């Protein structure tokens, strides 16, 4: 695994497109998110179907074809410098195969931001475009529009990435140690569901794996991790960084699962790193070479996330 191409950082006045590749969004939260972006001296625009709702499947933000068309058009627009996902939810898996990867590659490197269900797109952008992406707050997400820490860390990552090269853990090490590798990961359930698809990474070898999830009880987290172990997807991983586990059952039980399933890999594992489905979520880049130090509780990027 090698480091990926870092897109250019944003500058004041940069145009950012907000898309909804997965679940539907509330207009008032979208407007609040847009106001925050304008406050950063960015120029946010929304895609035509961003407020759509599927006529029969209410958990989707419009049809698969329209969601894919919005993302592709935004990415291929030469006036757009970054694409921000409005929320996660569910639906990216249904539209990712409709994207024209040749056209998107020809558009050149840009910034993609999103988390949760957007894990599917993070994987595809790594394998098909070779780009660093940002696993960070949704532009219309409840945490983003209400939490100054989440806002500030995303703003710094986009506009001054050299100021946030070191991320600090809120919790202890499950397995102590130091490791180097290239960051990858996302939402655990999406990584497991993506196994075997043509856009997914083939494994985490030589990587620092960052994972988190929401609403998965300990036995289901066990099942997801066991699936990754049984397929060999975790073979050769260098270290593991655990984010949030909101609504995933009693943490003492979950912690036992994480330690039992991951401890046998013989690599450093650190927990409560403050990214994912949590208040004040940090923005973490995927595709950047970094060093994990569990004693210091730090993940230090070799280079800023954006060039």
Choice among 153, 199, 277, 291 that is catalytic: 277
Range 53-60, long-range pairs (CB < 8 A, 24+ positions): 53/24, 54/24, 58/24, 59/23, 59/24, 59/89, 59/90, 59/91, 60/22, 60/23, 60/24, 60/90, 60/91, 60/94
Active site annotation includes 277: yes
Choice among 22, 116, 169, 189 that is catalytic: 116
Residue 167 neighbours by CB under 8 Å, 6+ apart: 273, 274, 275, 282, 284, 298, 299, 300
Handedness of CA 96, 100, 103, 106 (dihedral sign): positive
Active site annotation includes 272: no
Q: Strand pairing of 269-270 and 173-175?
A: antiparallel
Active site annotation includes 246: no
Choice among 49, 122, 153, 212 that is catalytic: 212
SS3 call for 298: strand
The backbone torsions φ and ψ at residue 231, rounded to the nearest 5 degrees and listed phi first, read -80, -10
Which residues are bridge partners to 276 per DSSP? none
Cβ-based burial of 180 (10 A; exposed 0-12, middle 13-18, buried ≥19):
middle
Catalytic residues: 116, 212, 277
């Amino acid at each position: 695994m090698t480091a990926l191409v870092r897109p250019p950082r944003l500058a004041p006045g940069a145009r950012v497109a907000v898309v909804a590749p997965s679940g539907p969004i509330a207009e008032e939260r979208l407007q609040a998110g847009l106001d925050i972006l304008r406050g950063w001296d960015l120029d946010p625009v929304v895609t035509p179907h961003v407020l759509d709702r599927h006529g029969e499947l209410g958990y989707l933000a419009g049809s698969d074809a329209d969601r894919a068309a919005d993302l592709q058009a935004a990415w291929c627009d030469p006036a757009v410098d970054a694409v921000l996902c409005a929320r996660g939810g569910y639906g990216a898996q249904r539209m990712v195969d409709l994207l024209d990867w040749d056209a998107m590659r020809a558009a050149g490197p840009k910034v993609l931001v999103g988390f949760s269900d957007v894990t599917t797109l993070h994987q595809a952008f790594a394998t098909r475009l070779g780009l660093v992406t940002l696993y960070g707050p949704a532009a219309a997400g409840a945490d983003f529009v209400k939490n100054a820490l989440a806002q500030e860390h995303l703003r710094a990552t986009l506009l001054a990435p050299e100021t946030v090269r070191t991320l600090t853990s809120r919790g202890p090490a499950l397995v102590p140690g130091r490791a180097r590798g290239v960051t990858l990961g996302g939402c655990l359930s999406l990584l497991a569901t993506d196994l075997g698809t043509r856009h997914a990474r083939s494994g985490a070898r030589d990587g620092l794996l960052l994972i988190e999830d929401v609403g998965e009880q300990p036995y289901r987290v066990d099942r997801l991790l066991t699936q990754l172990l049984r397929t060999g997807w975790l073979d050769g991983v260098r270290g593991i960084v655990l984010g949030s586990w909101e609504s995933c059952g009693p943490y003492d039980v979950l912690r036992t699962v994480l330690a039992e399933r991951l401890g046998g890999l013989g690599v450093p594992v650190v927990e409560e790193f403050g990214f994912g489905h949590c208040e004040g979520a940090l923005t973490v880049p995927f595709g950047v070479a970094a060093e994990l130090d569990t004693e210091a509780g730090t993940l230090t990027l070799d280079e800023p996330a954006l060039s």
